[in-house]
Structure 1
Amino acid sequence: MSNHADFAAALLDPERPCPDGLLSVNGADPASRFAVYRNNVQASLINALADSYPVVVQLVGDEFFRAMAGVHVQGSPPRSPLMNDYGHDFAAFIEGFAPAASVPYLADVARLERLRVIAYHAADAQPLEHEQIAAALADPQALSELTVELHPSLNLLSSAFAVVAIWAAHQQETTLAGIDLSQGQHALVLRNGLDVEVFAIDQGASAFIQYLQNGQSLMQALEAAPAFDLSQTLALLISRNAITHLHNNKVSP
């Protein structure tokens, strides 16, 4: 292992000794100085996770979260200088973290919170004017060739748990009482202006939007998706400025 790799590994593993060759300019014990530095690095990474996953923190409590995040930090060093990228795999870690098994929806709540971070930092895109969209949709003959480009921040999550309701309850400082936690939900996450928004949509709407993201035409997506309210779904996408381009892919004979 190189000196750099040895130093990096020791930063995240409190069981490792201070790397060889470190010196302190003021004569202090290098091992003591390194221990302080290691604690600061680990604390900053745990704090970054707490900032990205505030509802997960609320669900399990600060003490449990910091202990869980500490284990994650030791096995998952940062791969990018951008701290908003850190913790992209935290939900998968939670799913395999045995002490969190008593909160079965925790990993999916983390996935929802990760999509919010992604949406916040996604590229900007100018939405189409509502009048342009209405004019394009007014011609039923064109729907089979019309494809929709959606805002880069838009993502979907399907969960076996009531993740949107759980997340929403923690935005209003209410309890989970009255929520059927095992009632699966489909989430739509997007950034509208500067605000990241979360909506619960039905299975058919989620499938329809996924088909649109995959490049299928409006008619193809409508025919492939389970039954849903098309007007309501399009109204949601239009009102939240989620449609950025419409492409007519008609091929001339």
Structure 2
Amino acid sequence: MTSLLEQQRQLRRMIVAGDDADSGALLRPRPDREPLLRIYRHAYTARLIGALRDNFGVLPHVIGDEAFDALALAYVAAHPSRYPSIRWFGDRLPQFMGERDDLVPHPALIDLARMEWALRHAFDAADATPLAAADLAAVGAEHWPSLVFEPVPSVQLLPMQWAVEPVWRALQSSSDDDLTTPEPEAHEHALLVWRAGLDNRWRALDTAQAALLRAMLDGRCLGDLCLLAADQVGEADAAATAVAALQSWLADGLLAFRSPHEIRERLKR
């Protein structure tokens, strides 16, 4: 007698993986239910493709319904859902697109998918109180070179090869399905994505800005950021450049709040 748990696992394999090797034993009591199995299989795949359409709202419009369905079917087969919530289904789609250029009509679409996933992630990221410039007032000037900053959870920095932001902006601001989108241009840059309150935000960064932000995200102290800035603009302007970057991060709410006590305790480590 097959246990209920084993029957459930068997049914899951038959629906998700299309494994019919032992379907007879499961379906023998009601062989007339075999057509229902096909319905479940179709519904499972269709629901995951629908989730991909929701999680990547712009990509299907750019790539077209037929091409997107082909891409989605291949992705579902290669990467079955492994999360309790289908909100997270599609986390490996940009990487998969890079591996299957036969399913991607233009390489810029990979960057577009990465941007969309980052925006989704930013919206769902944990809340954090941003650090304000006034919060640093209690730190003595002698300690500033040792300061290490922590980003809020929504901050992401993406290396981009194509200028896909105009495409995303055009489709987000229009309800016209026949809108002609601008042709993406090859452009190596970095894309900063974060959330301010309930609003997702993004900003393109040049190489110098991205290098300083990446160093901060990697846990480098302010003194190291000044050294990095010196390589970019020279020693005379290094401190001003690093402080200007810090001020912009504070203004955008990219840094997580720490009390003066927490900052002093961290400096002691």
TM-based fold match above 0.5:
yes
Specify the alignment match of 2:148 in structure 1: 147
Instruction: Deviation per CA, 1:183-242: give whole Å up to 9, x if none.
Output: 122101111111121111112222212211221112212323563854654344222222
Structure 1 range deviating more: 98-107 or 9-18: 9-18
Aligned 8 A contact 1:119 1:189 in 2: yes
Q: Please state whether the residue corresponding to 2:187 is helix, strand or coil.
A: coil
Please tell me the root mean square deviation across aligned C-alpha atoms, in Å: 3.0
Amino acid at match of 1:185: H
Structure 2 CA distance, aligned partners of 1:34 and 1:18? Answer: 13
Structure 2 CA distance, aligned partners of 1:112 and 1:119? Answer: 10
What is the aligned residue count? 247
Amino acid at match of 2:164: V
- The answer for unaligned runs of 5 or more in structure 1 is none
Instruction: Deviation per CA, 1:53-88: give whole Å up to 9, x if none.
Output: 112112101221122101111121111202222111
Q: Looking at secondary structure, tell me which structure has more helix per residue.
A: 2
CA 1:117–1:19 in 2, change beyond 3 Å: closer, same or farther?
farther
Equivalent in 99, 108, 113 of residue 96 of structure 1? 99
Aligned 8 A contact 1:22 1:30 in 2: no
Instruction: Deviation per CA, 1:81-132: give whole Å up to 9, x if none.
Output: 0222211111111112233343111112111111112212211111123422
Percent identity, aligned pairs only, is: 26
Structure 2 CA distance, aligned partners of 1:231 and 1:238? Answer: 10
Amino acid at match of 2:24: D
Structure showing greater radius of gyration is 2
Instruction: Deviation per CA, 1:39-58: give whole Å up to 9, x if none.
Output: 11111100111111112112
Aligned 8 A contact 2:189 2:206 in 1: yes
Structure 2 CA distance, aligned partners of 1:60 and 1:185? Answer: 23
Specify the alignment match of 2:68 in structure 1: 65
Shift of 1:22: 3.7
TM-score by length of 2: 0.79
Shift of 1:180: 5.5
**Aligned: 1:191 with 2:195:** yes
Structure 1 range deviating more: 225-234 or 50-59: 225-234
Amino acid at match of 2:64: G
Q: Please state whether the residue corresponding to 1:186 is helix, strand or coil.
A: strand
Specify the alignment match of 2:232 in structure 1: 227
Structure 1 CA distance, aligned partners of 2:218 and 2:181? Answer: 35
Structure 1 range deviating more: 39-48 or 105-114: 105-114
Specify the alignment match of 1:239 in structure 2: 251
Equivalent in 82, 85, 100 of residue 82 of structure 1? 85
CA 1:181–1:144 in 2, change beyond 3 Å: closer, same or farther?
same
**Aligned: 1:107 with 2:101:** no
Specify the alignment match of 1:122 in structure 2: 125
